[in-house]
Structure 1
Amino acid sequence: MQRWKHRPDGSNWGRFGPDDELGTLNHIGPDQRRAAAAEIREGLAFCLSLPLDIPGTVTIHPRRKPPRLQPTFLGDTPYINYPLENVAAGLQDVLSDDQVLLSTQYSTQWDSLAHVGALFDADGDGVAEPVYYNGFRAGTDVEGQTEGSPHGSFARRLSVSAMAQSGVQGRGVLVDLLRAFGPDRRIVGLDDLLSVIAAQQVEVRQGDILMLRTGYAEALWDMQSAPDPERLDQTGAVLDGTDEALKTWISDSNIAAIAADNYAVENPHLSPDDCCFRLPLHHHCLFKLGMPLAELWYLRDLAGALAERGRNAVFLTAPPLRLPGAIGSPVTPIATI
């Protein structure tokens, strides 16, 4: 059933079917996975996740908190180094078991398509309502907290669970903005991006996951013993979400997703003189295209290995948690070359 009469200009709503929850991940099919597997030449694997307790002492988002790890309990008994004492049965087992409370988007993460919606007149009745990619609705498909709900707020549709089922496995291509522009803050539009792609001889194909190295996550890693929030705010390149040409290129490229090592991928747009979105690239990608975004990936080791070999493509595996209802997810991406 089609949920909308009007769709945003330039959007992918309906392109992959009326009930689609994967968006541009549909660009990754068997052919793309086989081509990605051809990038494995040496069998070297690189973990692209920060430790999930970083940012740590540097606060970059006031709502998101570091993970709290603790034992599981049976009554008041914590199950850490717990002996299963049963002399008669001769048991000698010692068990440890734990649980975690975490913000799903605190560290290395995926944004699901339920992360950013917009007020948009999808019904064509002249009244804007809160909706998400493909016309999924706030309050029904993405629920708010209701009295007695055991889950709080959660996404019945567009959650990371659908992404996880797809595998999120294909060809990743690295664009090293840190190597091109250095560690200072730079607002990157289409001209800058294409100049680096050309200089580094990056071939961007349909279904690729575009990985952007800016140095931000590396600075987070290095700052843990001496955090400098002001310096961090001036670290690394960010995409210019107000650049219409850049957004058109993202649409036309048919890439599957964008994964950056920085916070938010784009430059948060705060000018009161401009309309209408604080995160215009999030609006374009998540809401209009159905293109997942990833943040705070750790790319230093992979970038060094690729530069030594004159390469920029990898076989990438990066599924989120298959956690029904979750709007974001921590992820441990693995790049194999």
Structure 2
Amino acid sequence: MTQHRENAAANPRWKHRPEGSNWGDFGPDDQRGRLNLLTPERVKRAVAEVHEGLTFCLSLPLDYPGGNLLNPRRHPPVLRPTLRNGRPNLNYRMADDNPYLTDVMNDDAVILHTQYSTQWDALCHVGQLFDADGDGVPEPRYYNGYRPGIDVVGPSDPSDAGAVGLVPYKATSEARALGIENMATSCVQGRGVMVDLHAHVGDAHTYIGYDAFMRILDTDRVQVEPGDMLCLHTGFAEMVLGMNRTPDPERLEHSCAVLDGRDERLLQWVSDSQVAVIAADNYAVEGLPAAAGFGCCAMAPLHELCLFKIGVHLGELWHFTPLARWLRQHGRSRFLLTAPPLRLPGAVGSPATPVATV
């Protein structure tokens, strides 16, 4: 409690922090959350897990899953060539401009929804209504008390939102705090620990609560320690990959394991475990919609705990199946994981191309 009061006294953004949160514990202006646990000693511990020198790409192609069935607001990337002298800059023969030049040039641009495919959530991706200033009225807040309109700014006019053309334009939203660049500069390298949910429940759409999760850890002899990067294999991304960009809505909605975000004991384990990040190969790590709760509550309770309360970044739609199979065949669960996002200032999420080394 003394630590709590000292943190609050030093922080102008909040007088009260959410129950079970770590606001202020890494400093009054912290924007990295539990990435702070990826210390040099823990990175060296992760490097010691490399025995074979084999690497695994943990990203889907960024135009998967295809379409927008998983989220109607997110669409596949659109690649287009840039313009050179009024013509598409693709297979562009410089000799057309200067007969003495032999170069053939390509250059392109992309419209990219940052959370369409394999991705990280920034800590500003999800906030909550919470009475941080003690006036009895809940107001919007993000991790460590950062505020909408001041620290996370954006437009009110819908014409300034959504996908835009490839003409120069001024950005209309920006996370001045908690943007994904804070994750990028931490480098996101540490020891990955695989929990192979798919090996136990297969493709069945199963909400995994605390009891089931603990049974799987015990059965597979998986140990999770502070600073580890928790990875959950459900088989969902492998299923999506097999759909070849034409996903089946029935299978998307009713396949593979998800964490039960309404299970308070599971949430407490996530908090107590001191994992640095959580990544899964499914759409949202937890089940959406979450199981029915009582009274007013968060739509995505695991997101509330991780992004809002304790600063744990969430990775989604990673491609874990080849790695998970290899680890199981070799009786292992640990590996070196390197997974920085794009260093894109102000973004609330980012594509990722994570690499596992065993």
Q: Is TM more than 0.5 here?
A: yes
Matched, 1:97 2:107: yes
CA deviation digits over 1:144-170, x for unaligned, max 9?
A: 216899212220110110000000000
Residue of structure 2 equivalent to 1:17: 27
1:100-139 aligned at under 5 Å gives the runs 100-139=110-149
2-structure distance, mates of 1:225, 1:139 = 37
Structure 1: how far apart are the matches of 2:180 and 2:247? 31
1:229 paired to 2:249: yes
Contact 1:58 1:229 in 2 (8 A): no
Counterparts of 1:248-267 in structure 2, within 5 Å, are: 248-267=268-287
**Aligned-partner Cα distance in 2 for 1:176–1:130:** 36
Question: Which amino acid in structure 1 is aligned with residue 300 of structure 2?
Answer: L
1:237 aligned partner, one-letter code:
A
Q: Which runs of 5+ in 1 are unaligned?
A: none
Return 46-55 or 230-239, whichever deviates more. 230-239
1:46 maps onto 2:66 in alignment = no
5+ unaligned residues in a row in structure 2: which ranges?
Answer: 1-9, 161-168
Rate the CA distance shift 1:273–1:96 in 2: closer, same or farther, 3 A: same
> Can you list the C-alpha shifts for 1:217-275, whole angstroms capped at 9, x where unaligned?
11111122763211221111111111111111111111001000001111122647543
2:67–2:75 CA contact under 8 A, matched in 1: no
Which range moved further: 157-166 or 55-64? Answer: 55-64
TM-score normalized with structure 1 length = 0.96
CA distance in 2, matches of 1:251, 1:270: 20
Counterpart among 293, 301, 310 of residue 289 in structure 1: 310
**Given the alignment, which residue of 321, 324, 327 partners 1:300?**
321
Give the total of aligned pairs: 337
SS in structure 2 opposite 1:85? Answer: helix
Report the Cα offset of residue 85 of structure 1: 2.4
Alignment partner of 2:231 out of 211, 214, 217: 211
Distance 2:243 2:106 in 1: 32
What TM-score, normalized by structure 2, do the two folds share? 0.90
Runs of 4+ aligned structure 1 residues displaced above 3 Å come to 86-90, 146-149, 270-274
Match of residue 87 from structure 2: 77
The answer (yes or no) to whether the contact 2:281–2:320 under 8 Å persists in 1 is yes
The answer on 1:183 being equivalent to 2:203 is yes
> Does residue 163 of structure 1 match 2:173?
no
Q: Give the match for residue 202 of structure 1.
A: 222
Kindly state the Cα deviation for residue 75 of structure 1 after the two structures are TM-superposed.
Answer: 5.0
CA contact (8 A) 2:174 2:347 kept: yes
Q: Distance in 2 between matches of 1:88 and 1:227?
A: 47
State the Cα distance separating 1:91 from its structure 2 match: 2.4
Structure 2: how far apart are the matches of 1:157 and 1:75? 39
Distance 1:38 1:260, change over 3 A: same
Residues 116 and 287, structure 1, Cα contact 8 Å, conserved in 2? yes
**Percent identity of equivalent pairs:** 54
Residue 8 of structure 1 deviates from its aligned partner by 0.2
Letter in 2 for 1:24: R
